[in-house]
Structure 1
Amino acid sequence: MGALLLALVLPAALPASAAPTSAPTSAPPSVPSSDPSSRAGRADVPPGVTAGVAVFDRGSGSFTEQVNPSLPFRSASVVKLLIALDLLGDRGPDALPAQDRARVDAMLRASDDDAAGHFWTVNGGGSIIDRMVRKLGLTDTARPPATHPGHWGYTALSARDTVRIYRYLLDTAPAAVRDYVMGGLRSSTRCADDGYDQHFGIPGAFERPWAVKQGWSGFGSGGCTTPAGAVPTARTGGPAVAGVDLARPALHSTGTVGPDDRAIVAVLTLHPDGTSYGKAYTDLGRLTRSLNVPGATRSAGTWIGTWGADVNVRADSTTTSRKLTVLPAGAEVLVSCQKRGQQVSIPPYTNDWWVYLPQYGGYVTNIYLSVPENQVPGLRLC
């Protein structure tokens, strides 16, 4: 291959086509569409997805959305909220040893699994969940099944209990605990410690201010720049235990949205076996964008599907520009404008147009967009 192609990370297989267009005819179809500024308030659950949804308006003290709010899901990393609250108790973070504080920081911001495993082991495992159930008045939350006692991510959790956790954190917990935990969630990193892109759902659908704790389980690749020495691995489970599905891929987005944490949002989802991370990422994003979330400012731009694996996001519209990260394979992305840049050739495709992804702060060659033309129709110039 020439130097130009070596500068790109190519998908596993290029589709065959005789026409040099920006996207192959076999790429997943996608119709660009801008989100309206407001929604009527009906959760749009994608086909094949099992969802538990609860949106609570702290301004009115009422729910604006509820879908299967009491249905228990395996929590994945959302349980790290309970692990942190149990550790802190009524103390502020200053009471923690420096090493433990560093672990909590990593657990909340980058969803560090080693930190969660450490606290799970030293603080009694399932007893953490029992204590939090009593303290917070949770009704659908339970420790992992006896067959998987060390799997903290198998803790059962519902959307309505997730709302209760955030309500306790915002309205009841000591100010030092609230500010510390919420500060960590507001500082969520795009790339989690295990190489998963964790800015799906709430961070994709809404502009800041937001604070999030995400969860994922059962995927083999996270579609993000992997830290040196780390290898993303599938977090696979087993059959349903006590009504909780431990097998199907799970993807959850939880947190607060808007000034003064106006809305609490919990979107818990299960996807069909074999669903890719990019597909689940896209479906969860569409579901979250359909919700009536008081106080939210919706992200402006056009959502467009992508194709290919390990697609680079770069600081500018050239293949030699600094690589910022890679996209989850096949994920839908928000684009705000387009411009001409370096011509990219992946025979038989050639394109010199690039789009800007505001949520990534970088550019992607239009070759990887699921649109029929080199330019995105109707998208403004950068």
Structure 2
Amino acid sequence: MRRANTFLLLGLVLGAVIAFLATEAEPYRQVVTAAGPADGPGVLSAATESSPPGPSPELSTGSSAPQQGPELSTELPALVPQGHVSVVVFDRAKGTTPVSLDPHRRYTSASLVKLLIALDALDRGSNPGIVREMLSRSDDDTASKLWVQGGETRIVRAAVTEMGLAETRPPKNPGRWGDTEITAADITRVYRYLMDRAPAQHRTTILNALGGATENGADGFRQYFGIPDALGDVSWAVKQGWSCCNPGRILHTSGLVEDHRYIVTVLTENPRSVSYDDAEAQVTEVVKHLPGIR
């Protein structure tokens, strides 16, 4: 009887050890799916089943999950205390996304939609000089003409299909191209399309325009906030966006830095009570806090 009890006790202990080891071997399972073609500007999404405590993995615009430490998830939003900020940094050399913060929050595009207008205009055979002028000076009048010539919201719908922009929406009022809805993840896809899939002559025209962005836009607004002010002598090619007030004060900085190695997208929205000067300073500080791009 004592021997039977001993065997029973050993069996229970052995079963508990095996269960413990199995639990420790796989604390959670990560499910990774791809949105968009494998060779295009797709997005990898990471979701967890029975995830451990802590932040949930975010969608990434690269081939692996973001590598930034948890401090960035608190530091960057603290730089825009009254508003919202979304950030994606994509490393084209490694095919990774070292920074991804709230990449799927929607914002109005302001002038970032001019990237789509430019690509459409070049596809239709428009004068490359006109496209360069629109981009480098962020000229609204030229953008409006090309927007109408390209079929207004058709431009956005075509880009959504061609580039896999799952989160981009045309403006509800077709005459207001700056109200196109975008996300940081989708703007990153636009740049990846430009660098990897767009016709070479289109790429050259657009990169020349973004690399020659003037300090002041056609409307007189200073457009060197964000990437240019933050990175100093580091090479950049940028498209900026600013608008007020639908719904709030919008300032975006986006582009390629370090000889086109990194795609940087920073989108912000503040209440109208935040001045343009303060909002510009915030965007610049966000870029200064991004690791590894200078």
Q: TM-score, normalised by structure 1?
A: 0.56
Q: Aligned partner of 1:288: which letter?
A: V
- Structure 2: distance between partners of 1:52 and 1:179: 28
Is structure 2 residue 100 aligned with structure 1 residue 66? yes
Q: Which residue is equivalent to 1:248?
A: 248
- Structure 1: distance between partners of 2:234 and 2:208: 13
- Cα deviation, residue 72, structure 1: 1.1
2:111 to 58, 69, 77: 77
Q: Aligned partner of 1:81: which letter?
A: L
- Structure 2: distance between partners of 1:276 and 1:209: 28
Q: Which residue is equivalent to 2:49?
A: none
Q: Aligned partner of 1:249: which letter?
A: R
Q: Aligned partner of 1:270: which letter?
A: E
Task: Report % sequence identity.
Answer: 39
- Structure 1: distance between partners of 2:220 and 2:200: 32
- Structure 1: distance between partners of 2:84 and 2:268: 6
1:148-180 superposed Cα distances (whole Å, 9 cap, x missing partner):
220000000100101100001011111111111
Q: Which residue is equivalent to 1:269?
A: 268
> Matched residue of 1:44: which SS?
helix
- Structure 2: distance between partners of 1:194 and 1:55: 29
- Structure 1: distance between partners of 2:248 and 2:200: 38
Q: In the alignment, is the contact (CA less than 8 A) between 2:132 and 2:208 conserved in 1?
A: no
Q: TM-score, normalised by structure 2?
A: 0.72
Q: Which residue is equivalent to 1:187?
A: 212
1:210 to 232, 236, 239: 236
CA RMSD for the aligned pairs? 1.6
Q: Aligned partner of 1:281: which letter?
A: E
1:12-70 superposed Cα distances (whole Å, 9 cap, x missing partner):
xxxxxxxxxxxxxxxxxxxxxxxxxxx97825222112011101011111111111101
Stretches of 4+ aligned residues off by more than 3 angstroms: none
> Matched residue of 1:178: which SS?
helix
- Structure 1: distance between partners of 2:204 and 2:147: 23
1:113-144 superposed Cα distances (whole Å, 9 cap, x missing partner):
00110011111110110001000011110100
> Matched residue of 2:205: which SS?
helix
Q: Which residue is equivalent to 1:196?
A: 221
- Structure 2: distance between partners of 1:175 and 1:102: 16
Q: Which residue is equivalent to 1:163?
A: 188
Which moves more between the two structures, 127-136 or 269-278?
A: 269-278
1:187-231 superposed Cα distances (whole Å, 9 cap, x missing partner):
00001000100001000111231000000001xxxxxxxxxxxxx
1:88 to 122, 137, 140: 122
Q: In the alignment, is the contact (CA less than 8 A) between 2:76 and 2:85 conserved in 1?
A: no
Q: Aligned partner of 1:108: which letter?
A: L
Q: Which residue is equivalent to 1:222?
A: none
Alignment of structure 1 residues 1-382 onto 2, 5 Å: 42=72, 44-45=76-77, 46=79, 47-89=81-123, 95-96=125-126, 100-145=127-172, 148-206=173-231, 207-218=233-244, 236-237=245-246, 247-259=247-259, 261-292=260-291, 294=292, 296-297=293-294
Q: Aligned partner of 1:251: which letter?
A: L
Higher relative contact order at CA 8 Å, sep ≥6: structure 1 or structure 2?
1
> Matched residue of 1:190: which SS?
coil
- Structure 2: distance between partners of 1:150 and 1:82: 15
- Cα deviation, residue 274, structure 1: 2.0
- Structure 2: distance between partners of 1:49 and 1:212: 23
Q: Aligned partner of 2:217: which letter?
A: A
- Structure 1: distance between partners of 2:174 and 2:120: 18
Q: Aligned partner of 2:163: which letter?
A: L
- Structure 1: distance between partners of 2:107 and 2:85: 9
- Cα deviation, residue 103, structure 1: 2.6
Q: In the alignment, is the contact (CA less than 8 A) between 2:242 and 2:250 conserved in 1?
A: yes
Gaps of at least 5 residues in structure 1 are 1-38, 219-235, 238-246, 298-382
- Structure 2: distance between partners of 1:256 and 1:268: 15
Gaps of at least 5 residues in structure 2 are 1-67
